[in-house]
Structure 1
Amino acid sequence: MSDLSLLYEDDFSAWTAQTIALLRQGRLADLDIEHLAVELNDMGKSGRHELVNRLRVLLAQLLKWQFQYRRLTARWAEIEGKGWRSAIIEQRAALSYLLDKNPGLRSVLADGIAEAYQQAVEMAAEETELPAAIFPADCPYDEGQVLGRGYYPPSE
């Protein structure tokens, strides 16, 4: 086991700094390739995980807006509507930032929406106490609607 490989086990921050230095110096033969590959793989998974997580929260908010908002009393709808609107705006801003910084994630956006949707239905059903069957089986929003600032689904 190389010194760099041992450093990975003992001090990840120092391993990272040393790896960066070796890359910048072009000393590729001195790299801890196995651990570097693990970390790069995890970075890819991390970005996708964050994308799906943010989509889950956003889709749940859109579902609550669409399926519960009108059922609430006027005063409660006003209060909840403001909170849901804020949550929708926040998630869209975070998704916009994530996609700007990681444009490669756009290629998995449709799959991310599909993956997050079932979790969003479960979340919306639990939060609203509505039966999960009330929500569409497939995501009713396209990518433009999900990410589109100012889009709020019509209340049912």
Structure 2
Amino acid sequence: MSDYQKDFYSWTREQVEMLRSGRFDELDIVNLIEEIESLGRSEKRELENRLTVLLVYLLKWQYQPARRGQNWQLTIQEQRLEFFDVLNDNPGLKSQLQALLTHSYRKAKIRASKETGLDTDDFPGTCPWEFPQLMDDAFLPD
């Protein structure tokens, strides 16, 4: 059997073959569990990243109106679409949306501050938008 640490690709191929052929007693259960858990965390991180980028650009849109442009608008639209794609593929994450929003907004404030030169205190302490607004294709803050 391939070493999980040294040749991950070969290890995954072998695990798949064992699963397909019903050789369950040969599976590397400990590492399979770790990888399956990692997949779930990865999807959650992807959703959080999409939401964070969306929030960064909405903050920039609201707080730097002179710099608004088509590229920002396109980024906002793309992040919404990608967010929906990840959420549709992982409906179990819907129950965590509020926590994701809280965490993503904290990260977005820091990133928006760095990108705009504004202080983090210039932005609201909590997210000023609700999910329906954030996901509304027509919504752009004033």
TM-score (ref. length: structure 2) = 0.90
Please give the residue correspondences for 1:20-99 in structure 2 after superposition, counting only pairs within 5 Å: 20-69=16-65, 72=66, 77=67, 80-99=68-87
Count of residue pairs brought into register by the alignment: 142
1:78-112: CA deviation from partner (whole Å, max 9, x where unpaired): xx331210110111111111112222222222211
Shift of 1:114: 0.6
1:27-85: CA deviation from partner (whole Å, max 9, x where unpaired): 2222100010111111111111111111111101111112221xx2xxxx4xx331210
Question: Whose Rg is larger?
Answer: 1
Shift of 1:139: 0.6
Q: Distance in 2 between matches of 1:144 and 1:20?
A: 41
Shift of 1:117: 0.4
Shift of 1:149: 1.7
Residue 151 of structure 1: aligned partner: 139
Residue 106 of structure 2: aligned partner: 118
Residue 137 of structure 1: aligned partner: 125
SS in 1 for 2:125: coil
1:14 equivalent to 2:10? Answer: yes
For 2:80, give the aligned amino acid: R
1:107 equivalent to 2:104? Answer: no
**Structure 2: stretches of 5+ with no match in the other structure:** none
Structure with the larger helix share? 1
Q: Distance in 2 between matches of 1:143 and 1:27?
A: 46
Q: Distance in 2 between matches of 1:24 and 1:103?
A: 27
Shift of 1:26: 2.6
Q: Distance in 2 between matches of 1:111 and 1:135?
A: 19
Sequence identity percentage: 39
TM-score (ref. length: structure 1) = 0.83
